Structure 1
Amino acid sequence: MGAGSESGMGTDVLDIWQKLAQLQWDGFTAGKVDVQTAQDVLQSAIRSRDPRLRDAVRRAIDELVPAGGAGIPMATQFEWLTSVVHGRRYPPIPLSVAGPTAWNDPTALERTNQRKTGSSGLELQDCTEPLAVEQHASIDDCSFVTALINLATHAPDALRVRPVGHGAYDVNLSFNGADDRLVRVYATDSSPRLSSEDPQHAVLEQAYLQIRGPAFGGSNAGVDTFLVGGFVPEMHDLASLDTHTVHQMLCGAGDAVANDECVVALSTGDHVTDSSLLPAHDYPLVVGRDWAGRRELQVRDPLSASLIIPISDFPRLAQFRAAYISWNPRRRFRRHERLHFRYSSARCNRFATVSDKPVFEVQGQDPTQSPHAGPSEVWVFLERHLPLDERAQDTLFCLPSPHGHHRTAQDSDTSNCGIALLKLKIPAGSATRVAVHTDTAATFTLHVLHNAHATACVRRVRRADLFCAEAEGVLRAGSNFGPFSNAEYYRNPAFSLEIPPVPAGRSAASKTVYLDIRLLLERHPETHAETPVNVQVFDVQDDELVRPIVFEETYVSAGHERRAMPLHAGSTYRLVCSAASADAETAFRLEVGVSDAALAEPAEPAQPYPSLPLKLTPAPLAYGSFPHRVARTFAWPARATTLAIPVKPRRLATPIHLRLLALDDALPVKSGVSFRMKCDDDDSSSSSFPPSAETALQAWQGCRENVTMPRQGHVIRGRLARDAAFKLMVLQRDGVTSETRRKAQQWRIELGSQYEVDVGEPEFACHSGHSAP
């Protein structure tokens, strides 16, 4: 915390420092560097005979041009790319290797060196009375001053300030995923600043206010303690706790404060009834002594070094609404890992599902390295990069189920101040997945602190590793075929779900898998997100949709979920999505994932999240998904009792899928209409038609006599031989009311085939054999 001034450097040396800075910026942000330019800068540094400059250039080149041509690590590049805040550059450069370059104002150092006279800056000194720091009344930064008092008292080494010369100072702060962001400030005697016996505190305040920007709307002591000293904040809502619990918690934290393991700040609410406290004000916690020499909880007013307020009495303690316990990570953990990522709200929040969000897997201790190791203590905290959108809510939450669609309130932390923390206990050989949600587009860093691993214990989870099959589609107003009670329900979007066989060696009980099936509507202001929807599951052979598996008739607004559906491994199912109403075009997503009871047997410790590769593909029911499609809608005359429909392939043998559907004025009639069915040779003189055609045709699925018309029509599937022809005969109708006998009924035939098929006009006759009009 202090070094020699660099104001005496010559112009040539300053130019080389500037070239080095430009080399670093271009190289780290682009991910590659011009080797010749780097060598030219190095040769200039060697000729300058400045050992510090020469070493700095060599160190930078080693980072920019790694040995073996490996390239600049993505994490390093990401830290440099996220260096700009409010239009200023704050690169991740420790004070110990920083040069005189003013990164956030490239012309400032040159201007100060050209001045003939001016302030020589403030002399930095050790602070003997850190509690003497007082907030300036005109600057609303009590949270920063509270953090400064705590850090100056318990961790003075965390305050990093270095003079550059002519009133210029460099400061390292922790933000945007790096704990050594370089900030240049210029101290002047005229600017308002806090009062302190150590001038470095005013420099830190200037750096803090510069980072926060002109539109700074306030903060809290937990966030500011992290920004200034890198301490991990643990935030507690005291309003939800009884006063006795709060007192016990603070007494326990006081023991850690006495050992310099953490610092504590308390915040009042918008209204207080105790005249010694200010509303919406942060106070550092002081572990002092009462008149009898007993340890006592106290707070100190940042505005007045002499105002020490005891808070052990419960009425006064009840005035505080938040506690910020900020832990020194260097005293508690040996390893600190970081993962940087961007969050796109347009992509991650399109549907209410975790599969679109950033998901990370945190591993427990490797049991092979420590056979008797207990649960690993791992802290995971989320840092949103500056500048902050104070309206945004960030949530860091655990995924207790293997595919991670559900969470509990105890396993989540939601915050609007840019920091969220989870304290995990992970058994050896196990893993915990955590996910991130926010309601805005932002850049984040996930920090993972632990002691258990010699290697990385956190990784980003790919979407494929969530073993969640998914498909998307659109529910349109013009093609909405209604709920299950509608005869045309089968024309709704349908999908085929293939479940693989269970792995060899598992028990017979594990042939049943439990799946969560979710139908989600797109979350967008312009869509009708409240449209009630439903998803039904059928066997893949159930073309008529008469036997749903665990029938569910409920339609749920914005999304429908079927949890823990018991299905058979090695089987294929059909999923049908429908809406009770669809007034506008609405995109949807169908997701299928393994439920909490993923497999009947528990996963092996080496694979905490078992994989089950599900396959979900579009499989429309109409026309059997065949490319050639013919439909005939016709009126069955009131007096006609038989119907014949000629069907003939044009050139090639082809499989067919035929659906016969009863309609009434183009609307569904009541189910229960039954009829007899047979097939006749269309041309008995044709030698190409097999004599046993009728027998063969009746062997097809669905072609039989005495059929009861299902609600979604009767389906026949089979194969037509080349040049064969037949007539589908409906010989009799039963269950038709006297009212419908007085008028023609509407029917439709839909035929899908792999190759072209001709479907003739329907032919009708009365029971006497005469043609019907």
Structure 2
Amino acid sequence: MSSDVVCPSQSSIRRLWNELYDICWSFYVKNAWNSHAFKSIVGEIQLSKDKELIRFLIWFNDARKTSNFNDKFQWITSFLYGRRYPPFDCAMPMKEPWNDLKKLESIIKYGEEPINLIELTPHNQTEDEIVQNIKVNDCSLICSLINARKQNQIKSYTISDNFNVIFHFNGTTRLVTVSQDSRFPSCVNDGSALTLLSPNIENMLVELAYLEVKNNRDYAFEGSNTATDTYLLTGWIPEIFDIKDVSLGQIFQFGQDHTMFALGTDSATGKEVTENHDFVVASIDLEKNLFTVLNPHGGESSATYSWETLKKEFKWLYVNWDPSSKYSLHSKLHDRYSKMLNAYPTWTQKPLICITNDTDSVQNCHLYLERHILENEPEGSNLTLGEVPKIGFTAVTAGGNNSGFCNMKLRLKPREVRTLFYHSDCSCNLTFHLLSNSELVTISKCKSNITTVESSWNVTNNKWPIGVSEYHKSPVFKLQIPGSEDVYLDLELVSQYSAQVNFQVFESDDYALKRPISKNPTYSTQICAINGIRLLQGRAYFIVCSVMNHVISPFILTLRCPFEQPHNISLTPYSIGFGGLRYNEVVMFKRRITISVSDFTRLFGLLYTKGVKTNGQIVLRLFEKETGEAFFEQTLTYYDLSTNPLAIPHMELRPASYVLDLLGTESGVTCNLGTSHRAVVNVDP
């Protein structure tokens, strides 16, 4: 007795590929796992005898069991323009496309210009391998493709009539598939094709895949730069330099074996080269300091420049280098950046990462920060990477640009930890690539040793700058310093909107705010910072935050200890005008008020005038009405309540009636009374 094994048809195998794609996508992206569907498809795949399909099944079954945050993040960020670009390379061949290729062909366009879609054959008339079509503004891609072909760095394969190319974007390698029989756009007006010119049709397919990712298959492209595009094609680390800042010594250090060079021009006139255009550096003669430069437009011979002439004619030097030629290890850290972090112009509100060297030797490493592709990228959107200063807030070392990436070279001492911050002008996904030569050099997210409170200036507290009697009405915070040792603190005040701002620090017994220990009477634009204020252990302090010109704005007050974070440091809003007590009353009087309390009560008072000077002698007494026992007495000569409020410090009162008596003022005085229990206050006629 025998039985025949029936092999599935090609349409059945295609169905199995797509069903497994959907199961894989649901697991990684939708966080959904259908074990029944997976088990039912396993048997069919085994019977298919499709080696690539079985290999993909085995990979997925193993990978899903050990998947982590990084794995899922790379899958979640596979989505672009509503299409899927999974994180695969050539080691995992895919027979079926992840997207609908027929639908993709229908979206090809050239801006608003009418086009036809035509089948192309290799362009054998060109003498050059790859030439830019001058109607398409992708000179940066052509330069990148020329260099990448020369270095044999285009990774692609053809299977089942699909051309698969491996690009590097959104934090990892990505599979981009176009039909091997793709049709290409041509102008309706003159019938000319809009593709690059090459005897190798695969170069046209690479261009199509590139424009699919970068511009949604629109050949009316606004352009890029060669460093960025070379990274997308090859994964080689991009760097962009203003050529005036580059020395020949740096060119020698880069070398030529594992480096690709290109040049860019700006819009400056009076030069021989085309403006706003990229060029390939075809070769460098390091002995004669001569550079052979190729225009991707073709149709002209290459030009040779001396180093000095090169610096005069060109603006940008684009460099891409092979990370594996310098570093043996590559680790990643993914993150999502929200533009809500940009409310204040200070690094203290930015997310932080730590680069740690856990070895006993010096370690050189390289950090490359990549912003993921944005479907609607804001023009001139910057990305910044900087190092947190050891002391203070303003001495920041940071570099930023609008190219979508940042680089930082690090030389780490033994057991050293470096803390970095990062910023983007817009919300985006980010990937940090750490290149090193030791597994003990690591990257991780970290928390800062910063304490921040947020408040705002409004119509009730934005009118009282330094020097007025109601300065205490500005926002005030109470700072508690615990512990057994003095500390040195860095403080920073930042307004959200443009304003002249200031803060001063007072000891907690200085309720009249007469003796600032920070001694900072000037106002600064938007940011006011002081480094290394010495504060005594076990003490409390007031920080008064004021603004000029009645500006309404949120603000943050930030502090940190540059050496060691004190434990349980406390920074809280405080009503200094009423001594921080629960019950508040404002009384206007000329001579005397009566205060009646029915419980043991803590009392605080603050006296001042509103713009009326008091230059004579002032006598202030607080006494019990029935017994005449004095609780507070003070005599001041030539004291001006319009600029220097007079404080009655906290005192404990038993149930009784008390009289607050003031001599020496002819005009009315304002008295802020704060009590811990409710009191009855009467102004005597």
Q: Is the Cα contact below 8 Å between 1:482 and 1:579 reproduced in 2? A: yes
Distance in 2 of aligned mates of 1:480 and 1:382:
42
Written as runs of structure 1 = structure 2, the 5 A alignment for 1:186-225 is: 186-188=180-182, 191=185, 192-213=194-215, 214=218, 216-225=221-230
Cross-structure match for 2:502? 534
- Tell me the equivalent position of 1:517: 491
| 1:349/1:189 CA distance change after superposition, 3 Å | closer
Q: CA deviation at 1:617?
A: 0.7
Give the distance between the partners of 1:187 and 1:541, measured in 2 at CA. Answer: 83
Pick which of 324-333 and 304-313 moved more.
304-313
CA contact (8 A) 1:133 1:305 kept: no
1:505 maps to which residue?
none
Q: How much does 1:407 deviate?
A: 4.5
Shift of 1:521: 1.2
Determine if contact 2:493/2:528 at 8 Å carries over to the other structure. yes
Q: Show CA shifts across 1:596-644 (max 9, x none).
A: xx34xxxxxxxxx76666321111112222222222213x2xxxxxx34
* 8 Å CA contact 1:513, 1:569 repeated in 2: yes
Report the equivalent of 1:126: none
Residue identity matched to 1:33: W
Q: 1:549: how far off?
A: 0.8
Aligned position for 2:671: 749
Question: What per-residue deviation string (whole Å, max 9, x for no partner) do you get for residues 20-43 of structure 1?
Answer: 111111111123422222222223
Distance 1:42 1:456 in 2: 41
Please say if 1:655 is aligned against 2:602: yes
| Secondary structure of 2:629 counterpart | helix
- The alpha-carbon distance between structure 1 residues 412 and 13, as it changes in their structure 2 partners (threshold 3 A), is same
In the other structure, the counterpart of 1:590 is 557
* Alpha carbons of structure 1 residues 562 and 120: separation in structure 2 relative to 1, 3 Å: closer
Match of 1:364 in 2: 357
Matched, 1:13 2:1: no
Answering whether residue 387 of structure 2 is matched by residue 396 of structure 1, we say: no
1:630 paired to 2:604: no
Counterpart position of 2:658:
726
* Distance in structure 2 (CA, Å) of the matches to 1:426 and 1:212: 36
Contact 2:228 2:403 in 1 (8 A): yes
2:476 is matched with: 494
Q: State the alpha-carbon separation in 1 of the partners of residues 249 and 621 from structure 2.
A: 84
How far apart, CA to CA, are the structure 2 residues paired with 1:142 and 1:110? 23
Shift of 1:121: 11
- 1:286 aligned partner: 282
Aligned equivalents of 2:36 and 2:337: distance in 1? 37
- Deviation at 1:474? 1.6
Instruction: Decide whether the 8 Å contact of 2:491 with 2:530 is kept in 1.
Output: yes
Q: Look up the SS of the partner of 2:385 in the other structure.
A: strand
For residues 681 and 320 of structure 1, the distance between their equivalents in structure 2, rounded to whole angstroms, comes to: 87
Contact map agreement 1:104 1:184 (CA 8 A) in 2: no
Change (3 A) 1:169 1:657: same
What is the alpha-carbon root mean square deviation over aligned residues?
3.1
Structure 1 residue 548: Cα displacement = 1.0
Alignment correspondent of 1:574: 542
Aligned pair count reads 651
Using a 3 Å threshold, how does the CA distance of structure 1 residues 649 and 23 change in structure 2: closer, same or farther?
Answer: same
CA contact (8 A) 2:393 2:492 kept: no
1:434 paired to 2:420:
yes
Cα 1:104–1:337 change in 2 (3 A) is same
How far residue 674 of structure 1 moved from its aligned partner, in angstroms, is 3.5
Q: Quick one: which of 264, 269, 272 aligns to 2:266?
A: 269
SS at match of 1:311: strand
- Corresponding residue of 1:45: 45
Displacement of 1:398: 2.7
Q: Return the alpha-carbon distance in structure 2 between the equivalents of residues 324 and 50 of structure 1.
A: 44
Q: Counterpart amino acid of 1:50?
A: D
Read off the aligned partner of 1:516 and give its amino acid letter.
Answer: D
| 2:444 matches 1:459 | yes
Deviations 1:425-476 (A, max 9, x none): 222221222222222222221221111x3146111122xxx22111111211
Are residues 682 and 160 of structure 1, via their aligned partners in 2, closer, same or farther at CA, if it must alter by over 3 Å?
A: same
Query: What's the % identity of the aligned pairs?
Result: 21
For the 8 Å contact 2:367–2:434, the answer to whether it is kept is yes
Bigger shift: 351-360 or 308-317?
A: 308-317
Partner of residue 73, structure 2:
78
1:91 is the counterpart of 2:86 = yes
Q: TM-score normalized by structure 1? A: 0.78
Partners of 1:365 and 1:680 in 2: CA distance? 68
Q: Which residue of 2 aligns with 1:562?
A: 530
- The whole-number CA distance in structure 1 between the counterparts of 2:569 and 2:623 is 44
* In 2, Cα distance between equivalents of 1:46 and 1:296: 60
Q: Please, which of 694, 697, 703 is the counterpart of residue 629 of structure 2?
A: 694
For residue 9 of structure 1, report the CA deviation from its aligned partner. 6.2
Q: Distance in 2 between matches of 1:561 and 1:517?
A: 6
Any conservation in 2 of the 1:468–1:614 contact (CA below 8 Å)? no
After TM superposition, list the pairs within 5 Å mapping 1:538-553 onto structure 2.
Answer: 538-553=506-521
1:236 aligned residue (223, 241, 261) = 241
**One-letter amino acid of the counterpart of residue 451, structure 2:** A
Against the structure 1 CA distance between its residues 332 and 271, is the aligned structure 2 distance closer, same or farther, given a 3 Å change threshold? Answer: same
Measure how far apart 1:237 and its partner are.
0.6
**Partners of 1:377 and 1:271 in 2: CA distance:** 37
Superposed CA offset, 1:536-559 (max 9, x none)? 110011111111113222122323
Alignment equivalent of 2:160, drawn from 159, 165, 181: 165
**Partner amino acid for 1:655?**
R
Q: Which stretch has the larger CA shift, 261-270 or 91-100?
A: 91-100
SS in 1 for 2:367: strand
Q: Secondary structure at the match of 1:477?
A: coil
Structure 1 letter corresponding to 2:660: L
- Separation (CA, whole Å) in 2 of partners of 1:459 and 1:355: 18
Provide structure 1 residue ranges, at least 5 long, that are not aligned to the other structure: 1-7, 67-71, 112-118, 124-128, 368-372, 503-510, 523-528, 600-608, 637-642, 685-692, 764-773
Distance 1:439 1:613 in 2: 34
AA of the residue aligned to 2:430 = F
1:359 deviates by 1.8
1:678 aligns with 2:652: no
In the alignment, the residues of structure 1 paired with residue 395 and residue 536 of structure 2 have an alpha-carbon distance, to the nearest angstrom, of: 27
Higher deviation after alignment, 314-323 or 170-179:
314-323
Deviates further, 179-188 or 89-98: 179-188
Matched residue type, 2:578:
Y
Specify whether residues 212 and 196 from structure 1 end up closer, same or farther in structure 2 by C-alpha distance, changes over 3 A only.
same
Structure 1's 399 and 218: CA in aligned 2 closer, same or farther, altered over 3 A?
same
Q: CA deviation at 1:648?
A: 2.0
Equivalent residue letter for 2:221:
F
Could you say which residue in structure 1 is the equivalent of 2:25?
A: 25
- How many Å apart are 1:295 and its aligned residue? 7.5
Q: Which residue of 2 aligns with 1:376?
A: 364
Counterpart residue number, 2:144: 147
CA distances 1:686-715 after superposition (whole Å, capped 9, x unpaired): xxxxxxx725x24xxxx4455856512332
Match of 2:575 among 614, 620, 624: 620
Structure 1 434/671 Cα, relative in aligned 2: closer, same or farther at 3 Å?
farther
After superposing the two structures, state which structure 1 stretch, 34-43 or 487-496, moved more: 34-43
Shift of 1:351: 0.8
In the TM superposition, residue 44 of structure 1 has moved relative to its aligned partner by: 2.6
Paired residues of 1:187 and 1:203 also in contact (CA < 8 A):
no
Deviations 1:102-153 (A, max 9, x none): 2232766999xxxxxxx99999xxxxx9973222333222211111111211
- Please list the CA deviations of residues 529-576 of structure 1 after superposition, one character each: whole Å capped at 9, or x if unmatched: 333221111001111111111322212232322233233344321101
CA positional deviation for 1:498? 2.0
Q: Which amino acid aligns with 1:628?
A: Y
Aligned mate of 1:338, from 321, 332, 345? 332
- Write the distance in 1 (CA, Å) between the matches of 2:308 and 2:70: 48
Contact 2:482–2:566 under 8 Å retained in 1: no
711-720 or 327-336: bigger deviation:
711-720
> What is the match of residue 109 of structure 2?
none
Between the aligned partners of 1:482 and 1:231, the Cα distance in structure 2 is: 57
Whether contact under 8 Å (1:382, 1:396) holds in the other structure is: no
Distance, in Å, in 2 between the alignment partners of 1:563 and 1:185 is: 62
